[in-house]
A and B are shown apart, each in its own frame.
Chain A
Amino acid sequence: MALLEVNHIEKHFGSTRVLEDIGFTLEKGEVVAIIGSSGSGKTTLLRCLNFLETPDQGQIILNDEVLFDAEDPATLDKKEVRKKRLHFGLVFQNFNLFPQYTALENVMLAKELLAKEKPDYKENRKEIHQQIEAQAKGLLCRMGLEDRMYNYPQQLSGGQQQRVSIARALAMDPDILCFDEPTSALDPELTGEVLKVIKELKDTGSTMIVVTHEMEFARHVADKIIFMADGIIEEVGTPEEVFEHPKSAKTCAFLQKSTEI
């Protein structure tokens, strides 16, 4: 039984079709890399999974629970959506850290706000706070940021900021963590530290969807490659299948171009 099942997702912006009949599955612990040229709809797909966009067609099923079904408007109930999107985490290309909070506060904020809504918060506020803080510190240590916890985002390098934002996403314990070109906004010498962290997450069993232009990374870390072109999934397979024996002409052309430089 697949952890995630995406069926026939379709998305239009005005009259342009950006996603067309997107379907794939993801097993627990699996890492899938989505590659494809600019404008092929990779970001839009991640945004659909995170309920930042509403697909026009299709279904998103997680652990047998229908999170989204275009035919069933009840799946878009605001309160429910808020809960459902916590199944997914999203790491943005440009981090989007909250500038007025320290690294630690960035990681803790959402969890604290969520805890405040629980009925037993008032009695146990101290313990809950300590627990959240301990978890956040643990995550930042895992990201190699133990001596950067009390820094504000503008005091951190791009690579450090991106690692904070990964910790922030992990704090909500998502079933699936999505990355949208996590290293594209970084100087080349900083991409390594972020990719290393993602690789470590894979080793501890995290399920991830990574949109990336780092072909070497995709080849060595992903279990599955999805190649997108013009809003459709052109080719799916293991890294070996897609990189060594691409079936589609578009995939060939893309791979050739992206390894040329």
Chain B
Amino acid sequence: MDFWTITGLLLQGFGITCLLFALTLLLAIPLGLALSFLSMSKFKFIKAPVKIFIWIIRGIPLMLFIFVIYYLPSLLADGNAGANIFNSIDLQMTIAAGSTELLWQGRFLAVLIAFVINYACYFSEIFRGGIESIPQGQYEAGYVLGLTKNQVFFKIVLKQVVKRIVPALSNEIITLVKDTALANAIAIPEIIHCAKMMASSQALIWPIFYTAAFYLLFVGLLTVLLGKVEKKLSYFKA
């Protein structure tokens, strides 16, 4: 196999890496925001369970959590992990509609669920920290001017929160890029998985190292992008 064939195959895997990254980000941010509000609730019976949940998710390795999501439902259903529920889900994904892909599409859902929940918990702690760091005076100044709670949050607080959390969020987002490699624990054909397959079937080791180029390029792009966001918010001090 020549360089370009291998690049092409790895690109296919990288597509799945990117898909997992994008979907996780898209879903974990709103879920994280919801969790952060729940974890700041006045009501103890809401706040306490949410905090315990976040503690558990952040406390166990993501790899382990992927296994939990993947195997636990089947174990609970019939005590037999051999017939995995996720594998029987035939997701019609347009990005990969061949017969071999059908094998992983269901599992992809398991990985996605694990990633979204895991990252939502990390994000929620970042959001909470950001929201709690805004001085009470900002809220009060808004209320005194007759603003509603929603107006105060969206027109006054939110932008200040975003500015404060962009650095922490950037870190987490870049970590997410690399964490997608964990999906290969249940044989999702992301880029590292593809490279490993070549290693075993073609006795080619170098594609594994070659994957680094893809990650570095992607992370570099994100770094520039997130830097732009940070710069855009640098016109004010909060």
Q: Which of A2-10, A83-91, A193-201 makes up part of the contact surface?
A: A83-91
Q: Are A152 and B235 in contact (CB under 8 A)?
A: yes
Q: In the bound complex, how far is the Cα of B146 from the Cα of A89, in angstroms?
A: 10
Name the B residues within 8 Å of A94 (CB-CB). Answer: 137
Q: Are B146 and A96 in contact (CB under 8 A)?
A: no
Expressed in whole angstroms, the minimum distance between the Cβ of A177 and any Cβ of chain B is 11
- Chain B residue with minimal CB distance to A88? B144
A82 beta carbon closer than 8 Å to chain B: yes
B84 beta carbon closer than 8 Å to chain A: no
Residues 129-152 of B contacting A (Cβ, < 8 Å): 135, 137-138, 140-148, 151
Name the B residues within 8 Å of A92 (CB-CB). Answer: 137, 140-141
Q: Are B238 and A100 in contact (CB under 8 A)?
A: yes
Residues 148-165 of B, flagged 1 when their CB comes within 8 A of A and 0 if not, give 100100011001100100
Q: How many residues of A contact B (CB 8 A)?
A: 28
A258 beta carbon closer than 8 Å to chain B: no
Residues 136-182 of A contacting B (Cβ, < 8 Å): 152-154, 165, 168-169, 172
Q: In the bound complex, how far is the Cα of B144 from the Cα of A86, in angstroms?
A: 7
- Cross-chain contact of B145 among A83, A99, A109 (Cβ < 8 A): A109
Expressed in whole angstroms, the minimum distance between the Cβ of B136 and any Cβ of chain A is 9
Size band of the interface chain B makes with A: 20 to 34
Q: In the bound complex, how far is the Cα of B148 from the Cα of A85, in angstroms?
A: 12
Name the A residues within 8 Å of B235 (CB-CB). Answer: 152
Q: Are B236 and A99 in contact (CB under 8 A)?
A: yes
B237 beta carbon closer than 8 Å to chain A: yes
Kindly name the residue among A50, A51, A90, A98 whose own CB sees the greatest number of chain B CB atoms within 10 A: A98
Name the A residues within 8 Å of B163 (CB-CB). Answer: 100
Q: In the bound complex, how far is the Cα of B135 from the Cα of A97, in angstroms?
A: 11
- Cross-chain contact of B146 among A83, A152, A154 (Cβ < 8 A): A83
Q: Are B237 and A154 in contact (CB under 8 A)?
A: yes
A52 beta carbon closer than 8 Å to chain B: yes
Name the B residues within 8 Å of A169 (CB-CB). Answer: 144-145
- Cross-chain contact of B156 among A86, A90, A98, A165 (Cβ < 8 A): A98
Do A110 and B147 form a contact, CB below 8 Å, given A99-B237, A99-B238, A154-B237?
Answer: yes
Q: In the bound complex, how far is the Cα of B138 from the Cα of A168, in angstroms?
A: 13
Q: Are A89 and B144 in contact (CB under 8 A)?
A: yes
Name the A residues within 8 Å of B237 (CB-CB). Answer: 99, 152-154
Q: Are B143 and A85 in contact (CB under 8 A)?
A: yes
- Chain B residue with minimal CB distance to A112? B155
Q: Are A100 and B143 in contact (CB under 8 A)?
A: no
- Chain A residue with minimal CB distance to B233? A100
Q: Are B141 and A98 in contact (CB under 8 A)?
A: yes
Q: In the bound complex, how far is the Cα of B133 from the Cα of A182, in angstroms?
A: 24
Expressed in whole angstroms, the minimum distance between the Cβ of B155 and any Cβ of chain A is 7
A1 beta carbon closer than 8 Å to chain B: no
Name the A residues within 8 Å of B143 (CB-CB). Answer: 51-52, 85
A114 beta carbon closer than 8 Å to chain B: yes
Expressed in whole angstroms, the minimum distance between the Cβ of A55 and any Cβ of chain B is 17
Q: In the bound complex, how far is the Cα of B144 from the Cα of A90, in angstroms?
A: 7
Name the A residues within 8 Å of B146 (CB-CB). Answer: 82-83, 85-86, 110, 114, 172
Expressed in whole angstroms, the minimum distance between the Cβ of A98 and any Cβ of chain B is 5
Q: Are B144 and A50 in contact (CB under 8 A)?
A: yes
Name the B residues within 8 Å of A249 (CB-CB). Answer: none
Smallest CB-CB A-B distances: 5 pairs: A110-B145, A96-B141, A96-B137, A154-B237, A90-B144
7 residue pairs from A and B, CB less than 8 Å apart: A51-B143, A83-B146, A92-B137, A92-B141, A100-B159, A152-B236, A154-B236
Q: A85-B144, A169-B144 are in contact. List 15 more A-B contacts (CB 8 A).
A: A52-B140, A86-B146, A88-B144, A90-B144, A92-B141, A96-B137, A98-B138, A98-B142, A98-B156, A99-B236, A100-B160, A100-B238, A110-B142, A110-B146, A172-B146
- Which residues of A approach B to under 8 Å, CB–CB? 50-52, 82-83, 85-86, 88-90, 92, 94, 96-100, 109-110, 113-114, 152-154, 165, 168-169, 172
